[in-house]
Amino acid sequence: MAKRPTLTAADRAVEYSPTTARLFGFCQKKFYFTWLARRKQGWRKGLDHPWHRVYDLKQLKNRHTWAGDLYHEILAHILNDVCAGHEPDEDAARRLISDVAEAQFAFSAEHRFIGATKSHVEKYNGIPTFLALFEHAYGLPVDGLLEETRLNVDQWLMHTFSWEGWLPLIDHVQSARRVYIEPDNLLYLFAGARIRARMDVGVETRDGLFVLYDWKCYNEDKRFAAYDQHLFKQQLLAYALWPVSREELRLAIDRVVAHVFNPVTGEEREIHFTENDCADFEIDVDRWVRLQREMFTEVGDVVFDELRGPYDPQRSCPWCSFKAVCGEEILWHELT
């Protein structure tokens, strides 16, 4: 792939990720609040200020998202220990699941997330205890929620340790030239956008391969299987293009492979990418850049009432984290 030109400062303000693109397609208003909280640093405002309320609501998770995040955190903890020279210990990891889940649940139940920033909240064995559950924020029943989450993640971890790809993954990590575990600093420029390759695990092998590992903690809705697979492959491609687009030690796209493991079902898939995949992705990213420059240049340029809501408001809005502010008569563009 040819080297791409350096972008201007204005170009770098446009960010792209398949997840946010999907959110924008589902509900422009929800995307707007997510974008607004990041742009206006709501945590710096007073607790009653609408921007601070948006910031607090932006952090809310439902139970299923919490379980998926906890599984990812435990896997990252295990693999970081492997990188440090330790062997994975299933029993210790399962005990850690229970302890961390209890600590996170208590943090949420006591509403300590209000006014808090994740980077300043204490950790448990290096794992964040920050959690803001939708049920706690909106006063909904939580009976059995902690127990069910602990049981789910414990079962997923059992499936992971019995997965036939587990030992090859450990071998990859132990022998790799370089390992990336949920990295936050792998940025590259592509089709006019800045993309962050925050993969679950990336392994650069000594024979010139880049192997991605991704954990997929949900069952697919068969009605949307083809659509979901397209979006999921785009998400993996956004990670795969980092070693292809970086300034040094670039790889051809056929030297990148992704392994996707679903701990819910115990299934694994291997995904390869082509130049045609890259070309299609470039078109999508370019379209996103042009759309964002048109609609979201500055807060004052956004006409909130013209933003489209979710496809199915009867199903979506009751569980949307921003339902407490979306319907309010607030002149968002006039806020200071």
pLDDT in tens, 53-66: 888 898 999 999 99
Strand partners, 203: 179, 211
Strand partners, 257: 211, 272
Count the neighbouring beta carbons within 10 Å of the beta carbon of residue 14. 20
pLDDT value of position 320: 86
CA-closest candidate to residue 214, choices 175, 185, 180: 180
Question: Which one-letter DSSP state was computed for residue 35?
Answer: H
C-alpha–C-alpha distance, residues 70 and 100, integer Å:
8
Other residues' Cβ atoms within 10 Å of the Cβ of residue 136 = 19
The number of residues making up the chain comes to 336
Instruction: Give the span between the Cα atoms of 222 and 55, in whole angstroms.
Output: 34
267 Cβ contact partners less than 8 Å away, ≥ 6 residues apart: 261
Q: What is the pLDDT of residue 302?
A: 82
Q: Is the overall model pTM greater than 0.85, yes or no?
A: yes
pLDDT at 271: 93
Tens digits of residue pLDDT in 121-175: 999 999 999 999 999 998 999 999 999 999 999 999 999 999 999 999 999 999 9
Contact indicator for 282, 190 with CB cutoff of 8 Å: yes
**Sheet holding 187-190: strands in order across?**
15-16, 193-196, 187-190
Q: Alpha-carbon distance 304 to 300, whole Å?
A: 10
The owner of tokens 């796209």 is 253
Average pLDDT value for the chain: 88
**Region 204-230 average pLDDT:** 78
Question: With bands split at pLDDT 50, 70 and 90, how would you rate the model's confidence at 326?
Answer: confident
